[in-house]
A and B are shown apart, each in its own frame.
Chain A
């Protein structure tokens, strides 16, 4: 079921960031510029989550939240509050308002999704963007498929890789081997380890062997992660195929 997310913020920039954060998921994002518009839209669409700014003209986030809590048809809707102020008093005030969670600006889209996932079950978007994703992540060398990871691994990338694997697993299974290209990855971090393990696990289920291709420096650094310490990393595709 497509989830309805309502972003209420006077800044188009923040509404755009919220929309972009939810874009890989099966969600429809509705926008309102202030509390008055937000309340009206919330009554109409009954969203599954409201991402509500605290400071807005016309009607601010506190007033909108109070009105939602006073309305039997809206009071159960979860709310994540956004605020530019991280001071102790402000945080205490927000917590007392009865919000499900709050995020202090500046924030990254990934942070919002992490918080939303504590409240909702977000599913990858069903919309068929297969061709675009395949073009971005999959290439071929001889008869082997290569899964190309981008320079930065984000939550969005992890969801997209999950979708790509679902779409290509049948083809990968026919060759029995796939190459995971780490040569473009700039940062070695926990997200990268997670996505490598995600690919290996999914491929193992389908009896596909994964060979990692990356720089020598990356091979050395990934050995620091216990989950990957025994996994060989080849420095060229030729070595991996041989």
Chain B
């Protein structure tokens, strides 16, 4: 599969953080075993078509509140419940997934994008088996870390 996944993910994440949060974000090298420690929120969207797979965005609980506040024009102290955080993380996943889907389609792999889902908790991992490609990309916005994990394989 000839796809420059690193460049797709990096450009997508940068564009979403710049436009929606006016937040600079820089890519950082991470190892395949790196994870977000402690309580975290994971937003996921899936692709189905000529390409199959999913993208999972791992964000620490604390950073997710900062992002939710930024998107909603509030201060982090005003974010009390999970609803706002889940909605914002879902929407960020949708936009990053949408960006990837568009690049896949333009590269000759037409596919559809699912509605985002959000999982919250601590001490859990997202496992997916039998993928051709499994890559993790790290990003550091102001005062936090985000891990974007992509699973892909050729579809029918």
Contacts and interface: CB of A to CB of B under 8 A. Distances in A.
Interface of A: 10-14, 16-17, 20, 55, 57, 83-90, 104-108
A17 B110 contact: no
B119 interface: no
Interface residues of B, number: 29
Contacts of A20: 73
Contact of A87 (B20, B90, B102): B102
Interface in B61-106: 68, 71-73, 83-84, 87-88, 90-91, 94-95, 97-99, 101-106
Interface of B: 15-16, 18-20, 68, 71-73, 83-84, 87-88, 90-91, 94-95, 97-99, 101-106, 110, 113, 115
B73 A14 contact: no
A108 B18 CA distance: 9
A90 B99 CA distance: 12
B73 A11 contact: no
A107 B71 CA distance: 11
A112 to B, nearest CB: 12
A55 B99 contact: no
28 contacts: A12-B87, A13-B72, A13-B84, A13-B87, A13-B88, A16-B71, A16-B73, A20-B73, A83-B98, A84-B94, A84-B97, A84-B113, A85-B105, A85-B113, A86-B98, A86-B99, A86-B102, A87-B102, A88-B106, A89-B110, A90-B102, A90-B105, A105-B95, A105-B98, A106-B18, A106-B19, A106-B20, A106-B95
